[in-house]
Chain A
């Protein structure tokens, strides 16, 4: 995997490279550089904090789309003790843009679903860039119903640039499939924890995103439309996406403030892509903490609270 570095990451990455070089030098040539290394490490940590404390919304969108960002399967691999993937919607086909299965996390038996992006060109095409078709939403619902049947909690990971806009998707009822999931997910008698791990675009994200607790990783976005789509509509110019990102207020801290999500999950220093293990550990801890709370509720309480949660969403004047 060739390294991909965002513009604002460059000073950090350059410093890190220098430190790495010095470390190699001191090991191989037995040159005493520990003081200098320590000084640079302090410097890089300070620089990282400085850059990451002032990220713009647009920079966070870039981090959410970072080619090296961990995807659903990267998290599943690291968060679960066992995972058995299941396939198909039993009606039309299997949608590789979403993975799902039964898993164990610690002492818990759970189901996990999540949109899956591809890393290589071939994988990207296979996963359709994480853009689901109707059969994907139906597969997700089938897996969630399995969880309900056996009283297991549901973990849903969101990472999609949107539901796929294509002829087949429309013919097979993209809208109807998403609508059905919204209705059914509001009724499932088991805990549902949703986490946005990358991109959360529109109905395509929400179609697997109704839950009791909604988490967002620090450097992710969630909105009714992508910044590019918004810019195209507002200014007929998709290059104004940076402005659109600001207008849409689409970051995790924004959504926490708006009361749409329940928690922002911390990412490792420099973003999730810098340390998959740490990112997965932090996410797993957050999910487990939420599940522990939710498991105290009866199925009726759970569903009532969930409907109440969504009923209260919206700002208006009366």
Chain B
């Protein structure tokens, strides 16, 4: 009978996958937490405030009004122009991650609103090859910055990255210069850039756009630094102090404006965004782009029109 049951199940294998694992262990305090509760709390442990790593779609849901994200350039994808081969071919790695994550690379960019304030919003995905920055991340961010300039909108980038993508060698290094140069243009245009650092933000990403915000915020306890702790430990041959390279360490040393917990992030962004804008946004305007911006969207043909992502479409 057992065999029969299994064979029947085998006909609908997807059904089994749908049963969610309802409990998860906190990396901060080892407490076993009920997942739906964790989700309600923005994936922050109610016991110890540990911030779990979350997906880009979770940030969209959590920070953008009505879960609306009008995404730009969803079809740019990486190419293995060096025919780079480590343990695996880079070309295969790209395909695997595209399949696994359902996205084309480690960053998503687009338009959204935060308490009625229109912003160009970018979120990195650590799940895509460690959030590494190659040509696609550089290009998508470059275009997002250009969009912000064209639309006269503030820019927000949420970083989560192990650094530059090794498999694109010197070209991934050059993305640091590329994004930084365009951020200079954004700044010259008098536009606001808020950089949000999440766990982890290291290497070439930290040493370029992540550290160039007019305002730099971080989630609590995030690893933030240039060199990775292992490399530092190896180089100096001694243990690293407690809390080294964490958000609170960076705040103490003057490299962050504030450490903001996930549940306070949206309200904080609203304050900063409204500091930098002269037009007061009333509740009645919520949900609609200011008229002048709509015109700008149509009037920027050099950049491909954004497409609405899956989550937004469902809403």
The reply to whether the CB of A282 lies closer than 8 angstroms to some CB of chain B is no
Minimum Cβ distance to chain B for residue A46 (Å): 33
The reply to whether the CB of B192 lies closer than 8 angstroms to some CB of chain A is no
Minimum Cβ distance to chain B for residue A241 (Å): 13
Contact of A224 with B204 in the complex, beta carbons under 8 Å: yes
Binds A, one of B15-23, B170-178, B274-282, B289-297: B170-178
The CA of A180 and the CA of B211, in the complex, are separated in Å by: 8
- Give chain A interface residues in 202-234, CB to chain B under 8 Å: 202-203, 206-207, 209-210, 222-225, 229-230, 233-234
Taking CB as reference atom, which chain B residue is nearest A314? B135
Minimum Cβ distance to chain A for residue B160 (Å): 15
Contact of B181 with A224 in the complex, beta carbons under 8 Å: no
Give the chain B neighbours of A258 by CB distance below 8 A: 81, 170-171
Partner of A167, one of B180, B224, B244: B244
- Give chain B interface residues in 74-91, CB to chain A under 8 Å: 75-79, 81-82, 84-87
The CA of A202 and the CA of B173, in the complex, are separated in Å by: 7
Partner of A317, one of B79, B181, B187: B79
Minimum Cβ distance to chain B for residue A116 (Å): 19
Give the chain B neighbours of A250 by CB distance below 8 A: 169-170
The CA of A176 and the CA of B205, in the complex, are separated in Å by: 10
Give the chain B neighbours of A255 by CB distance below 8 A: 170
Contact of B170 with A224 in the complex, beta carbons under 8 Å: yes
- Give chain B interface residues in 265-309, CB to chain A under 8 Å: none
Binds B, one of A11-19, A29-37, A147-155, A182-190: A182-190
Interface centre among B75, B81, B87, B177 (most CB of A within 10 A): B177
The reply to whether the CB of B33 lies closer than 8 angstroms to some CB of chain A is no
Give the chain A neighbours of B240 by CB distance below 8 A: 167
The reply to whether the CB of B182 lies closer than 8 angstroms to some CB of chain A is yes
The CA of A258 and the CA of B84, in the complex, are separated in Å by: 14
The CA of A174 and the CA of B253, in the complex, are separated in Å by: 12
Give the chain B neighbours of A171 by CB distance below 8 A: 249, 253
The CA of A176 and the CA of B250, in the complex, are separated in Å by: 11
The reply to whether the CB of B209 lies closer than 8 angstroms to some CB of chain A is yes
Give the chain B neighbours of A223 by CB distance below 8 A: 169-170, 173
Minimum Cβ distance to chain A for residue B141 (Å): 11
The CA of A226 and the CA of B249, in the complex, are separated in Å by: 28
The reply to whether the CB of A21 lies closer than 8 angstroms to some CB of chain B is no
Minimum Cβ distance to chain A for residue B166 (Å): 6
Minimum Cβ distance to chain A for residue B128 (Å): 14
Contact of B181 with A306 in the complex, beta carbons under 8 Å: yes
Q: Quick one: given A306-B181, A317-B78, are A165 and B209 in contact (CB under 8 Å)?
A: no
Contact of A224 with B164 in the complex, beta carbons under 8 Å: yes
The reply to whether the CB of B207 lies closer than 8 angstroms to some CB of chain A is yes
Give the chain B neighbours of A176 by CB distance below 8 A: 207, 211, 255
Q: Quick one: given A179-B212, A210-B177, are A224 and B226 in contact (CB under 8 Å)?
A: no
Partner of B184, one of A169, A183, A230, A314: A183
The reply to whether the CB of A291 lies closer than 8 angstroms to some CB of chain B is no
Q: Quick one: given A172-B253, A183-B180, are A235 and B86 in contact (CB under 8 Å)?
A: yes
Contact of A183 with B183 in the complex, beta carbons under 8 Å: yes
Give the chain B neighbours of A302 by CB distance below 8 A: none
The reply to whether the CB of A166 lies closer than 8 angstroms to some CB of chain B is yes
The reply to whether the CB of B66 lies closer than 8 angstroms to some CB of chain A is no
The reply to whether the CB of B142 lies closer than 8 angstroms to some CB of chain A is yes
The reply to whether the CB of A318 lies closer than 8 angstroms to some CB of chain B is yes
Minimum Cβ distance to chain B for residue A159 (Å): 16
Minimum Cβ distance to chain B for residue A311 (Å): 6
Taking CB as reference atom, which chain A residue is nearest B209? A179
Minimum Cβ distance to chain B for residue A197 (Å): 16
The CA of A306 and the CA of B175, in the complex, are separated in Å by: 14
Minimum Cβ distance to chain A for residue B238 (Å): 8
Contact of A314 with B175 in the complex, beta carbons under 8 Å: yes
Minimum Cβ distance to chain A for residue B313 (Å): 22
The CA of A186 and the CA of B175, in the complex, are separated in Å by: 13
The reply to whether the CB of A307 lies closer than 8 angstroms to some CB of chain B is yes
Minimum Cβ distance to chain A for residue B226 (Å): 4
The CA of A230 and the CA of B135, in the complex, are separated in Å by: 18
The reply to whether the CB of A289 lies closer than 8 angstroms to some CB of chain B is no
The reply to whether the CB of B232 lies closer than 8 angstroms to some CB of chain A is yes
The reply to whether the CB of B112 lies closer than 8 angstroms to some CB of chain A is no
Q: Scoring B residues 193 to 213 as 1 if CB is less than 8 Å from chain A, else 0, what string do you get?
A: 000000000011011111110
The reply to whether the CB of A297 lies closer than 8 angstroms to some CB of chain B is no
Partner of A183, one of B181, B226, B227: B181
Give the chain B neighbours of A314 by CB distance below 8 A: 134-136, 138-139, 171, 174-175, 178
Contact of A182 with B176 in the complex, beta carbons under 8 Å: yes
The reply to whether the CB of A1 lies closer than 8 angstroms to some CB of chain B is no
Q: Scoring A residues 234 to 276 as 1 if CB is less than 8 Å from chain B, else 0, what string do you get?
A: 1100000000000111100001001010000000000000000
Known: A183-B184, A224-B172. 17 other contacts (CB 8 A): A163-B227, A167-B236, A174-B226, A179-B211, A179-B212, A182-B177, A182-B181, A186-B184, A202-B173, A206-B176, A222-B170, A223-B170, A224-B168, A306-B181, A307-B181, A307-B182, A317-B78
A-B contact pairs, 9 of them (CB 8 A): A170-B226, A176-B255, A187-B181, A224-B170, A224-B204, A248-B82, A250-B169, A314-B139, A315-B171
Which B positions have Cβ atoms within 8 angstroms of A?
Answer: 73, 75-79, 81-82, 84-87, 134-136, 138-139, 142, 164-166, 168-178, 180-185, 187-188, 203-204, 206-212, 224-228, 231-232, 235-236, 240-241, 244-245, 249, 253-255
Give the 6 A-B CB pairs with smallest separation, nearest first.
A314-B135, A165-B227, A186-B181, A182-B180, A234-B86, A175-B206
